[in-house]
């Protein structure tokens, strides 16, 4: 499957979302598993790109490390609020633990009376997943709007069947821009692939930087290219790893 002609694949800096991009979305976030072939593909790509591969996800960095292990790479977590760069240095925004505690209490009150909701507390944000109860979208939104009013430095971000309360500040686009100022990413052409509305910030930044943007699945987007689903994207990723390794062999 040729999506687009990569003129200099060895000059790419690859930025990949995780859920819906490298793994199929599951009913519960903890139920997803990275396929061994995908782990191998990531390992091959990172080697061929001299380390210029990062995961840019809504999850905590620690969760991603655990899912990818023993593979490890730079990661931006919580939609760009936290970041571990190529040297292993941590960058992050601040959020009050007391705010997260109060938000958790309010969400638990809702989840106790309604089964099928899932609360996800992260290091820098808190989210409610209603994939198991799409009928409760409005109820979840109401509680989350109340939570957002507790602190004017907090904003809501909506994803697929999930609403998250997080500090204003970083987003996936800013995380990519930060990576692109540092080795081994700087001087390369960024390529960002993602499936959700939170990836749009990154698409915008990468488009502006003359990079390539790829949307997985349906939905409005400012990405330049689209693939139908996660499986098609993973097939393309594997082929890109093949191309890169062939290029290295010729050198």
- Footprint of Mg ion (CB under 5 A): 17, 19-20, 195-196
Four-CA torsion 203, 20, 198, 4, nearest 10 degrees? 10
46, two tokens: 């990172």
Nearer to Mg ion (CB atom), residue 196 or residue 201: 196
Per-residue DSSP letter, 217? S
Q: Quick one: 13 or 162, whose CB is closer to Mg ion?
A: 162
Using an 8 Å Cβ cutoff, are 110 and 146 in contact? Answer: no
The least CB distance from residue 159 to Mg ion, in Å, is 7
Q: Are 117 and 109 in contact (CB under 8 A)?
A: no
Minimum separation from the CB atom of position 72 to Mg ion (A): 20
Least Å from the CB of residue 22 to Mg ion:
9
Largest CA distance in the chain: 63
Cβ contact 42:2 at 8 Å: no
Residue nearest to Mg ion (CB): 20
Q: Quick one: which of 243, 183, 179, 211 has its CA closest to 50?
A: 183
Residue with smaller CB distance to Mg ion, 17 or 201: 17
Q: How far is CA 68 from CA 35, 39, 63, in A?
A: 10, 7, 9
Q: How far is it, in rounded angstroms, from Cα 115 to Cα 104?
A: 16
Active-site entry in 10, 17, 60, 135: 17
> Minimum distance from CB of 115 to Mg ion (Å)?
25
**Least distance CB 176 / Mg ion (angstroms):** 14
Please report how close the Cβ of residue 145 comes to Mg ion at its closest, in angstroms.
23
Of 20 and 173, the one with the shorter C-beta distance to Mg ion is 20
Q: Which one, 57 or 189, has the nearer CB to Mg ion?
A: 57
The distance in angstroms from the start CA to the end CA of the chain is 25
The answer to whether residues 143 and 150 touch, using CB atoms and an 8 Å cutoff, is no
CA 40 to chain centre: 19
Residue closer to Mg ion by CB (options 25, 52) is 25
17 labelled catalytic:
yes
Phi/psi at 209 (5° precision): -85, 10
Residue with tokens 């931006």: 76
- By annotation, the residues acting in catalysis are 17
């Amino acid at each position: 499957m040729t999506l687009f002609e990569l003129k200099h694949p060895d000059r790419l800096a690859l930025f990949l979302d995780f859920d819906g991009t490298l793994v199929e979305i599951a009913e519960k976030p903890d139920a997803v598993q990275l396929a061994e072939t995908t782990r191998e593909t990531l390992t091959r790509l990172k080697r061929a790109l001299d380390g210029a591969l990062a995961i840019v996800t809504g999850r905590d960095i620690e969760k991603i490390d655990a899912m990818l292990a023993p593979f490890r790479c730079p990661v931006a977590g919580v939609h760009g609020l936290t970041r571990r760069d190529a040297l292993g240095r941590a960058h992050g925004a601040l959020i009050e633990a007391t705010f997260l505690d109060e938000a958790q209490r309010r969400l638990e009150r809702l989840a106790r009376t309604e089964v099928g909701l899932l609360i996800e507390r992260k290091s820098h944000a808190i989210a409610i997943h209603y994939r198991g109860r799409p009928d409760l979208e409005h109820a979840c939104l109401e509680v989350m709007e109340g939570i957002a009013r507790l602190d004017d430095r907090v904003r809501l971000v909506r994803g697929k069947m999930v609403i998250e309360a997080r500090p204003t500040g970083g987003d996936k686009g800013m995380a990519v821009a930060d990576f692109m100022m540092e080795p081994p990413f700087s001087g390369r052409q960024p390529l960002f692939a993602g499936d959700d509305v939170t990836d749009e910030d990154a698409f915008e930044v990468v488009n502006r930087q003359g990079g390539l943007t790829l949307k997985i699945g349906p939905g409005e987007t400012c990405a330049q290219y689209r693939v139908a689903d996660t499986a098609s994207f993973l097939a393309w990723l594997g082929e890109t790893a093949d191309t890169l390794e062939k290029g290295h062999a010729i050198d």
